[in-house]
């Protein structure tokens, strides 16, 4: 199953580390959002949306 991680660089509330999440998910495509915390989609919605589109573009289309 395709997966990706959008991680706020300043996230202090996720309960784990980025490296743990990457390992748990099998080293998915990962984008770190500078200046964002746990709610990175609220910190900079435009950057979050662009980064999400970048991750989705790497995934196969659903049939």
**Average pLDDT for consecutive 10-residue bins of the chain (63 residues)?**
92 89 95 95 96 94 79
Q: Quote the mean pLDDT of the chain.
A: 93
**What SS3 state is found at 39?**
coil
Percent of the chain predicted with pLDDT > 90? 81
- Residue ranges of alpha helices (H) inside 1-63 are 18-24, 40-43, 45-57
Q: What pLDDT is stored for residue 3 in this prediction?
A: 92
* Domain-wise residue ranges, the chain: 4-57
Whole-model pTM: value is: 0.86
Position 47 scores a pLDDT of 97
Residues 6+ apart with CB under 8 A from 63: none
């Amino acid at each position: 199953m395709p997966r990706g991680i959008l991680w706020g660089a300043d996230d202090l509330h996720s309960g784990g580390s980025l490296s743990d999440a990457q390992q748990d998910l099998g080293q998915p495509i990962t984008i770190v959002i500078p200046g964002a915390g746990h709610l990175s989609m609220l910190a900079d919605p435009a950057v979050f949306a662009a980064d999400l589109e970048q991750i989705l573009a790497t995934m196969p289309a659903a049939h």
